[in-house]
Amino acid sequence: MSFEEIIIWYFVFIFSTVLHEASHAFIAFKFGDTTAHNEGLVSLNPIPHMKREPMGTIIIPFISLFSFGWMIGWAKTPYSLRWADVNIKKAGIMAAAGPISNLVLLLITSLIIHLGIGIGIFNPHPFHVKISSLVLAAEPGQLEFLTKILSIMFSMNLILFIFNILPFPPLDGSGIPLIFLDDEKGKRYLELTRKPSYSIIGLFASWLLFGFLFIQIFIFAMNLLYPGGHYS
Angle, alpha carbons 222-225-226 (nearest 5°): 85
The answer to whether 159 touches 140, Cβ cutoff 8 Å, is no
Distance CA 132, CA 109 (A): 14
| Phi/psi-derived region of residue 141, left when phi > 0, alpha when psi is between -120 and 50, beta in every other case | left
- Contacts within 8 Å (CB) and 24+ apart, 160-166: 160/16, 160/17, 160/20, 160/99, 160/102, 161/99, 161/102, 161/103, 161/106, 162/210, 162/213, 162/214, 162/217, 163/72, 163/206, 163/210, 164/20, 164/98, 164/99, 164/102, 165/99, 166/206, 166/209, 166/210
Distance CA 179, CA 24 (A): 15
Strand, helix or coil for residue 131? coil
Distance CA 51, CA 120 (A): 43
Residue numbers annotated as active site:
21
Q: Taking Cα atoms as reference points, which of 159, 126, 160, 132 lies closest to residue 145? A: 132
The answer to whether 16 touches 157, Cβ cutoff 8 Å, is yes
